[in-house]
Structure 1
Amino acid sequence: MLEVDKMLEKCGDFNRQQLIMLLLSSLINLLSAMHFVSSSIMNTVPKHWCADGLGSGPPPPNIDECKPFYSNSSNSGTCKKYNYESYMGFQSFVSEMNWICDDKWKLKQANNIAMAGCVLGTLVMGYLADLLGRVPILVFANVITVLGNFLTIFGVNFELFCMLRFLMSFVVNSNFSIIRILIVEYMRPSLHTVCLNICYGFLIYLGMVITPSIAILMGSWRRFMLLDALPIIVVPIFYYFVPESVQWLISRQKYDQAIESLRRVAKINGRQIDDSDFEEFIEDCKLSQQNTKTNPNLLHLFKTPRLRRTFLILLFEFTPWSLFRLVCVVRHWVLSIP
């Protein structure tokens, strides 16, 4: 809506409000990167070998070994206890739960369920954001992620662990994508590329680089997941510093709430806006909606050259990655079948 863009220029399209949103977005991206890497870290499979019948402190074998080194009438060739050679002293979830050898299928199944949750959540959470609003879904997604990380510490059985990983994967894409949409709406268009690349690309890269070192310093997957869950204390501030999408409020004909969001942006940015400007803005929005004869649908993406170009760019950018993830889900699922 052109009316929204003009109103945001008066309220301030790059000032304190936008800087606060960039800061929160950077924090979310950093934590999301830690969450992405946490699965690989906690599911690390260290070098292992069967400890049945071995004395104290034997030298580790050259390769992983699932069978006892010494067979006799008291064992049936099935190992009951394993030794691990942990990397820099880090104890992973796999080494604690012994999800190796005959139980390695559990790890593959858990990863399959997590990836399925990610694919399904991308569709459902986007629909909920259109139905209930951007900010509530943003807060909900971050709360579920942080609580899921904390509760995973107690997920010592297969079913509970899979359920928690599914829930976290279900909301993981919404953690950073929704606030990115809000930043695009409230920020000056000429600064979209620079600001989003800094708080999105750079912070996610930084988070992925430093997360393994943080995990090593923690020493175990439980302490690492606890550290990852601590940021829940900052989630409630989203309600106070992140305004709801004005365009979404206008599309739902919630005009009073749209004005309230704009007033809050103007107040934080130190701008004084006359009531007549807000009234004129709402009248223009109502007039624009009255002149719109049909409700937007998927086919409207091809209505104008600009929309067609943007849609095709996004399609070619994200489709290969989405197909790759789908192939990985199917492949892991097939390989995990006994």
Structure 2
Amino acid sequence: MLEVDEVLEKFGYFSRQQGIMLLLCSLINLLSSMHILSNPLINFVPKYWCADGLDPGAPPPNESSCKPLYNNSTNSGTCNKYNYEVHMGFQSFVSEMNWICDEAWKLRKGNSYFLAGRLIGSLFMGYLADILGRVPIVVLTNVIAIFGNFLTIFDMNVDLFCIFRFICGFVLNSNFALIRILIVEYMRPSLRTVCLNICVDFISYLGIISTIWIVVLVGNWRRFMLLDSLPIFVMPIFFYFVPESVQWLISRKKYGQAIAALRRVAKINGRQIDDNLFKEFIDDCKLSQQNTKNTPNLLHLLRTPRLRRTFLIMLLEVNPITVVDFRNWEHFF
């Protein structure tokens, strides 16, 4: 019986098609770096102090302060105007909106919506990708992320801010995770780990480093959000250059589209494939699906000792890393 990996090997496991996908995966991770840093950028709170009654050239205090720095008979103890310590000339979201002190709850509420969006979106978008396909969701999630950041530019109340932050968080995990699935499927097994490490880890951190300097160069959070929205024009190229998952197409019994995807890969890789191979592969897939009694679901993760062990190891590995990452976001700016 022909397996998907065996068929893809005949079409080229590491050739032009895989090179194109690696480049596009790198592009996705560069864009995702900007999306990821947009939230800590929004939540960055520079040092602030009350400006009421202060001379323009007065030195800033050692710590942030919500109350006037001195009290007198004309001072009610509440502050009407704040000064901010601007880092490298960057105008932050907080310093423009004055969401500090009594207004700080607005920023925390928006961040909670962002995290809630990440939680819900991780489940929903993965489920949607199993229905509509990997490539459409890759494009959709990136467009939504860019759209959410772009809308944040405009003046708004706290309710709109929370909605747009939820939209950005909703697709944050999926907009770069699905392209990895496609690369794993089309890449030679011996090169999957090293290629993913380069595209995902190296390129992502390179993107984070670059994004930090981009933030400094643009000098304003609105201009950064606008710059983050420009890559929306490159997303349609994914429909042309990235083939749909053959395994997903077979699972949905879309055999004609699966053959079209394989022919496309063979053409780009310069391989001549006998039509009999397609017929043999599809016949084997149909036979395998007829002999399959159960459809896999999430509960199958706990069905065998090996799957349970792997699942628990992933949970124990990812959760501490996530906590450490969130604790370190504030040091980026």
Q: Answer whether contact 2:43 2:93 (CA < 8 A) is retained.
A: yes
Structure 1 letter corresponding to 2:310: I
Could you say which residue in structure 2 is the equivalent of 1:147? 147
Shift, 1:215, TM fit: 0.6
Shift, 1:322, TM fit: 4.0
Could you say which residue in structure 1 is the equivalent of 2:3? 3
Could you say which residue in structure 1 is the equivalent of 2:314? 317
Shift, 1:26, TM fit: 0.7
Matched residue SS, 2:172: helix
* Length-normalised TM-score, structure 1: 0.90
Could you say which residue in structure 2 is the equivalent of 1:274? 274
Could you say which residue in structure 1 is the equivalent of 2:330? none
Could you say which residue in structure 2 is the equivalent of 1:175? 175
Q: Distance in 1 between matches of 2:83 and 2:14?
A: 57
Could you say which residue in structure 1 is the equivalent of 2:236? 236
Could you say which residue in structure 2 is the equivalent of 1:12? 12
Kindly report which structure 2 residues correspond to 1:94-173, keeping only aligned pairs within 5 A, or say none. 94-173=94-173
Structure 2 letter corresponding to 1:134: R
Q: Answer whether contact 2:128 2:137 (CA < 8 A) is retained.
A: yes
Matched residue SS, 2:84: strand
Structure 1 letter corresponding to 2:68: P
Structure 1 letter corresponding to 2:211: T
Matched residue SS, 1:206: helix
Shift, 1:315, TM fit: 3.4
Q: 1:301 to 1:64 in 2, by over 3 A?
A: closer
Shift, 1:2, TM fit: 5.0
Q: 1:324 to 1:203 in 2, by over 3 A?
A: closer
| Mean CA deviation greater in 315-324 or 241-250 | 315-324
Shift, 1:318, TM fit: 3.5
Could you say which residue in structure 2 is the equivalent of 1:333? none
Structure 2 letter corresponding to 1:146: I
Shift, 1:303, TM fit: 6.2
Deviation string 1:70-108 (CA, Å, 9 cap, x unpaired) is 545655322111111111111110010001111111111
Kindly report which structure 2 residues correspond to 1:201-216, keeping only aligned pairs within 5 A, or say none. 201-216=201-216
Q: Answer whether contact 1:41 1:212 (CA < 8 A) is retained.
A: no
Could you say which residue in structure 2 is the equivalent of 1:23? 23
Q: Answer whether contact 2:135 2:244 (CA < 8 A) is retained.
A: yes
Could you say which residue in structure 2 is the equivalent of 1:44? 44
Task: State the identity %.
Answer: 66
Cα-Cα RMSD: 2.3
Stretches of structure 1 lacking an aligned partner (at least 5 in a row):
330-338
Q: Distance in 2 between matches of 1:314 and 1:182?
A: 21
| Mean CA deviation greater in 204-213 or 225-234 | 204-213
Could you say which residue in structure 2 is the equivalent of 1:332? none
Shift, 1:214, TM fit: 1.4
Deviation string 1:97-138 (CA, Å, 9 cap, x unpaired) is 001111111111111111111011111111111111111111
Shift, 1:3, TM fit: 2.3
Could you say which residue in structure 2 is the equivalent of 1:88? 88
| Mean CA deviation greater in 152-161 or 106-115 | 152-161
Could you say which residue in structure 2 is the equivalent of 1:254? 254
Stretches of structure 2 lacking an aligned partner (at least 5 in a row):
327-333
Q: Distance in 1 between matches of 2:104 and 2:317?
A: 29
Q: Answer whether contact 1:114 1:169 (CA < 8 A) is retained.
A: yes
